[in-house]
Amino acid sequence: MQLGMIGLGRMGANMVRRLVRHGHQCVVFDMSPNAVAELVKDNATGSSSLSDFVKKLEKPRAIWLMVPAAVVDKSIRDLLLLIEAGDTLIDGGNSYYIDDIRRSKELAQKGINYVDVGTSGGVWGLERGYCMMIGGPDEAVQRLDPVFKTLAPGVGEIPRTPGREQAAVGTSEHGYLHCGQNGAGHFVKMVHNGIEYGLMAAYAEGLGILRAANIGKQTHAADAETTPLRVPEHYQYDLNLSEIAEVWRRGSVVASWLLDLTATALLEDPALSKFAGRVSDSGEGRWTIAAAIDEAVPAPVLTTALYERFSSRGEADFQNRLLSAMRYEFGGHLEKAASERPRWP
């Protein structure tokens, strides 16, 4: 079918390529004429302006926005001057589902359908396909099914979940799912990312513990500010993290795609020296926690994973200084104190 795509960054461009390769017709637009020109080379239909873009689309139009969450509303405002009742806008980016609820109401008043699509797959989507979580009215979602089917990974070589043979046929096995009314797509994607933070932290912490398994070989300061290691003989292992990540990829309970990527990263550079360890968080992790708290659902693992990211960026520095200050006040403890050596031999 025909789809218009606005926003030709890494994600948007590759989605167009995947659609065109499978016979769909894509009209594309981006603020950067170069980005448009690149996609034209890959058989998309280019456009020179937003109005040119809209004109090239058959009615009822289907327009997919793949732009940063912060500019979705502006994009919609601009489009509203050009589109008409019966058209469908799809937000495939990382919008907050609460914005979806608002937008869908506003657009419905103008007869325009709104579909929110949480898209996972990152830089691998062109090749592997995109996992899509979809929210919106039944009819609008149904009409876009050919697009979703092509963008999704499909069943592939991943074994069927036992019991699904008899199950009513659905799309989830193919890697896309209509989750519910507007906002449901981004809600599910939001929690997906929240889980992602937790999974990543679990691997990172575990590998951190493995990495320090040789700590008994080090000599430590023996002062009142340093806890001695009681049995250094228990921590004499020089473990190869890259090989360990690799061995877990086959047959272990912790095998996963994130582990695959971890193995890749550790094989490239076991010291991960090109990273400083300042870990960004996009909004989904935060919104997941906000939802957990509203719902009174305990989510300590996901929240802790989020806070580890904050701390990695130095956001705990003041708190830490305050802890040191309290210790100084009640015990006269000085940071890194060299002065408190034992008097008794």
* Positions marked active-site: 189, 196
* Count of residues near a second copy by CB under 8 A: 189
Contacts of a second copy in 196-235 (CB under 8 A): 196-213, 215, 222-230, 233-235
By CB under 8 A, residue 52 contacts a second copy: no
Residue of 37, 85, 108, 322 that binds a second copy (CB under 8 A): 322
CB of 52 to a second copy, least distance (A): 16
Residue of 23, 138, 163, 219 that binds a second copy (CB under 8 A): 163
**96 near 186, Cβ under 8 Å?**
yes
Q: Could you give the residue ranges of the DSSP H alpha helices within 130-182?
A: 138-143, 145-151
CB of 106 to a second copy, least distance (A): 14
Say how far apart CA 37 and CA 43 lie, in whole Å: 10
Residue of 191, 217, 219, 338 that binds a second copy (CB under 8 A): 191
CB of 240 to a second copy, least distance (A): 8
**Can you give the length of the chain in residues?**
345
By CB under 8 A, residue 168 contacts a second copy: no
User: 197 is written with which tokens?
Assistant: 């933070």
Say how far apart CA 181 and CA 150 lie, in whole Å: 22
Bond from prior residue into 270 cis (ω within 30 degrees of 0) = no
Strand, helix or coil at 79? helix
Q: Which is nearer to a second copy, 85 or 334 (CB)?
A: 334
What single DSSP character describes residue 120?
E
Angle between the N-to-C axes of helices 184-211 and 300-312, in degrees from 0 to 180, rounded to the nearest 10: 70
Q: Which is nearer to a second copy, 2 or 181 (CB)?
A: 181
Q: Which is nearer to a second copy, 68 or 146 (CB)?
A: 68
Tokens 């997919």 belong to residue = 64
Contacts of a second copy in 97-156 (CB under 8 A): 97-98, 101, 120-125, 128-133, 152-156
Say how far apart CA 320 and CA 342 lie, in whole Å: 26
By CB under 8 A, residue 51 contacts a second copy: no
What single DSSP character describes residue 45?
B
Contacts of a second copy in 264-293 (CB under 8 A): 264-268, 272, 275-283, 286, 288-293
CB of 4 to a second copy, least distance (A): 14
φ/ψ of residue 91, rounded to 5: -100, 105
Bond from prior residue into 60 cis (ω within 30 degrees of 0) = yes
By CB under 8 A, residue 244 contacts a second copy: yes
CB of 339 to a second copy, least distance (A): 11
